[in-house]
Amino acid sequence: MNDPKYHLDTLAIHAGQPPDPVTGAIMTPIYQTSTYVQAAPAEHKGYEYSRTDNPTRTALQECVAALEGGQYGLAFASGLAAIDTIMRLFNPGDHVIVGNDVYGGTYRLFERVYRRYGLTFSWVDLADLDSVRAAIRPETRLLWLETPTNPMMRLADIAGLVETVRGHPILVAVDSTFCSPAIQQPLRLGADIVMHSSTKYLGGHSDAVGGVIALNNEEIYTQLKFLQNAVGAVPGPMDCFLVLRGLKTLGVRIERHSQNALQIAQFLEDHPAVQQVIYPGLESHPQYALARQQMRFPGGMISILLDTPEAGRRMVTRTKLFALAESLGGVESLIEHPYSMTHASTATSDIAVPKTLVRLSVGIENVEDLLNDLREALS
Ligand SMILES: *Cc1c(COP(=O)(O)O)cnc(C)c1O
């Protein structure tokens, strides 16, 4: 079922999810249990306690690993819990290079939590490989990147960055939340760890919060597996089931998200009220060539710049189908104002986002309905 000969669309439906051996149930059961009966003390080889392992979580972990082309998968209670667990691989004094345009919660975790534990961070423009090279120190242990970034939609050249840090004891971890493995598979480009907020495209239905990691290195997997149990930020079986359920349609959803988003990006690019559209599927994107090379689809996320912050406020409160909400990647379209919403924690920092920026998460509704909604909101 996990055979890499299968295409992603097939793995999404079958990997880690053989029919239930007891009943033949085709859907993975929700093993809503905290503990497991053992035959004899200390000899048990199977499941023991659900923080350590749970069969519904195992199915999700195996499925995610297969989709990313990884040997190992791990699931967590949220995307941030997954990032937090990765950060616990490191020690006081270790240095991290991180893109200067990241998810606000990642910035907050690094600067407001991990800095207190003696980690240091350099925030650099990852599109400029020379500045990455210049940021490397003897104590650098991690390069953390998002691509495309949230919300500025800048791309990082994963293979190029892997090459840039080669020969140094630096792990490359990619937050691939904006893409999902249907668009890019960072492990195949040489990254050590890929991470997702499964709250977004993997779950895809705005009904569960979760995070996942996939990787190939057995030693790092063993450490992360230890930390997953030792720290304990695990998802419950119901949430694992919901993400597994969502994953089955990942391929068709991403294709439709991308088709809708491309049409909407083209419409917005021609609209007089819109100053700039930032979307990897448009030729006007400064890294369009890299997007073509690295991404199978341009994805469902679009950022636009309007003339004034007031115009942005007006737009996000006037759409009817595009709901004003944080988060992204669900079947329903969302719109938001990053400066005051998702990225408020960076507002006073060096990496603040423009006040005139509006971010769209394009859903899989009928595209004409979505276009009309935006046309009316901008009129
Ligand atoms: C949402 C998000 C996260 C955090 O995930 P949660 O599930 O909300 O904890 C991390 N990175 C990116 C790019 C995100 O969009």
pTM of the model: 0.95
What's the pLDDT at 71? 97
Measured from the Cα of 81, ligand 1's closest atom is 9
73-89: pLDDT as tens digits:
999 999 999 999 999 99
Res. 353 pLDDT band, cuts 50 70 90: confident
Instruction: Kindly state if the Cβ of 297 falls inside 6 Å of ligand 1.
Output: no
2-21: pLDDT as tens digits:
787 899 999 999 999 999 98
Q: What angle do CA 247, 85, 101 make, to 5 degrees?
A: 75
Measured from the Cα of 329, ligand 1's closest atom is 15
What's the pLDDT at 137? 98
Instruction: Kindly state if the Cβ of 195 falls inside 6 Å of ligand 1.
Output: no
Tell me: domain 8-247, CATH 3.20.20.80, correct?
A: no
Residue 190 has pLDDT above 90, yes or no: yes
Instruction: Kindly state if the Cβ of 78 falls inside 6 Å of ligand 1.
Output: yes
Tell me how far apart the alpha carbons of residues 123 and 350 are, in angstroms, rounded to a whole number: 9
Instruction: Kindly state if the Cβ of 361 falls inside 6 Å of ligand 1.
Output: no
Tell me how far apart the alpha carbons of residues 329 and 93 are, in angstroms, rounded to a whole number: 36
Q: In the predicted model, what is the mean pLDDT of residues 23-37?
A: 96
Q: What is the mean pLDDT of the chain?
A: 95
Q: In the predicted model, what is the mean pLDDT of residues 337-351?
A: 77
Domain-by-domain residue ranges, the chain? 8-247, 251-378
Res. 342 pLDDT band, cuts 50 70 90: confident
User: Separation of 150 CA from ligand 1 center, angstroms?
Assistant: 10
Res. 44 pLDDT band, cuts 50 70 90: low
Residue 200 known to be catalytic:
yes
User: Separation of 105 CA from ligand 1 center, angstroms?
Assistant: 7
Please provide the DSSP assignment of 238-288 as one string.
HHHHHHHHHHTTHHHHHHHHHHHHHHHHHHHHT-TTEEEEE-TTSTTSTTH
Measured from the Cα of 102, ligand 1's closest atom is 13
> Can you tell me whether residue 156 is helix, strand or coil?
coil
Out of 154, 200, 253, 359, the active site residue is: 200
Residue 39 has pLDDT above 90, yes or no: no
Q: Which fold has domain 251-378?
A: Aspartate Aminotransferase, domain 1 (3.90.1150)
What's the pLDDT at 263? 98
Instruction: Kindly state if the Cβ of 146 falls inside 6 Å of ligand 1.
Output: yes
Torsional sign, CA 338, 340, 342, 345: positive
From 109, 166, 154, select the one nearest 128 (Cα to Cα): 154
Residue 103 known to be catalytic:
yes
Res. 360 pLDDT band, cuts 50 70 90: very high
Instruction: Kindly state if the Cβ of 197 falls inside 6 Å of ligand 1.
Output: yes
Among 105-114, 176-185, 267-276, 345-354, the range scoring the smallest mean pLDDT is: 345-354
| Distance from the Cα of residue 269 to its chain's centroid | 26
Measured from the Cα of 80, ligand 1's closest atom is 9
User: Separation of 42 CA from ligand 1 center, angstroms?
Assistant: 38
Instruction: Kindly state if the Cβ of 79 falls inside 6 Å of ligand 1.
Output: yes
Angle between helices 79-87 and 218-231 (to 10 degrees): 110
Tell me how far apart the alpha carbons of residues 119 and 291 are, in angstroms, rounded to a whole number: 32
What's the pLDDT at 2? 75
What's the pLDDT at 280? 98
Residue 212 has pLDDT above 90, yes or no: yes
Residue nearest to ligand 1 atom 4, measured at CA:
79
Rg, C-alpha atoms of the chain:
21
